[in-house]
Structure 1
Amino acid sequence: MLNKMGETIALFRLYRDTGEEEWSIRAEELLDDIWNGCTEDMSLAYGDGLCGIGAGTEYLIQNGFVEGDADEILAEIDSRVFAAINARPPFDLSIEQGISGLACYLYHRLCYRKDSEEPVVLNLKEYTIYLIDWIAEALQDDATGKDYYEVYFILVLLHTLNIMNAKIENLLEWCDKEITAAHVKNR
């Protein structure tokens, strides 16, 4: 699904760069196909599920490729992400299928309006705090699969939102130590 969303974004960008109507028509058809393929039982995963679709949609709206109210369009995905954060099901820390993918989705929802105090934004920020706590717990859980480079990348993105930066900085240090230890071990 993320590949289709990436293709959709590329087609919209081609249209903007060239003005050729064919690219816009193909992009709109592909976007319709993506949204028509969404189901209630679809995965939340960033790589092939709702979080990737939502992040791509947010990008398209915020960059003027399509019109719409992102808060209205993405309300159901937001609710499912919030429910997952509350339930904390067994996820790994990956971007493609795990907790970092949820973080990537929330980052995309907030990065365009991180200083806003609209109720929707405040709710997204609240759940970002809960997600940061979940990442901290997962980093300490030996049973959770980890790619410290991916987690580090996500933490750097979250740091730009200015939400719980002291905790994020501690988690970045944790990841840095783990990455360094892995390099020393592999020498």
Structure 2
Amino acid sequence: MRIVAGLYRGRRIAAPPGDETRPTSDRVRESLFSILGPLDGARVLDLFAGSGALGLEALSRGAAHVTFVDGANPAIRAVRANLEALGVAREAAAVRRQDARAFVRAARTAGHQYDLVLLDPPYRLAPELGRELSPALAELIAAGGRIVCESDRRAPLGLELPMTDERRYGDTLIRIHELD
């Protein structure tokens, strides 16, 4: 796996060992970030971060700060190792080992706002997460912010938020939600 474009273009990143994490392919990341366009100065939340590939791609493309959240120790270790290997400044990233739902509730209570939220949950959890996360995510998004969901096309992550784009890449489904 590698960073597709930007400051860290071509640099390799590691995925957590085992089959618990399903990293987003280079092809899907390249297409997604082409759709999203410039991220200069964006505040990004990478939920269910896994290897951190989505958030790292955002940093490489100009995001000011990314918060990586995952509940699994191997994923957190991989994100930290990837940040260190890329030489990402400490102030540009935060890594949290926490259940994504608990993090979203706490961030909402604290009044945190993000320009971009990247959601790539385990495919088996996607169907149940949409209704649960929708209200909280709506409050975490800054004006004009976007939420990107990656899921299996057969079991999509159905957020109850305005959808502006949907793309399929084999069995992978990408949905982009935008709030005014």
Would the TM-score normalized by the shorter structure come out above 0.5?
A: no
Q: Which has the higher strand share?
A: 2
Q: Which has the higher helix share?
A: 1
Q: Normalised by the size of structure 1, how large is the TM-score?
A: 0.34
Rg bigger for which structure? 1
Q: Normalised by the size of structure 2, how large is the TM-score?
A: 0.35
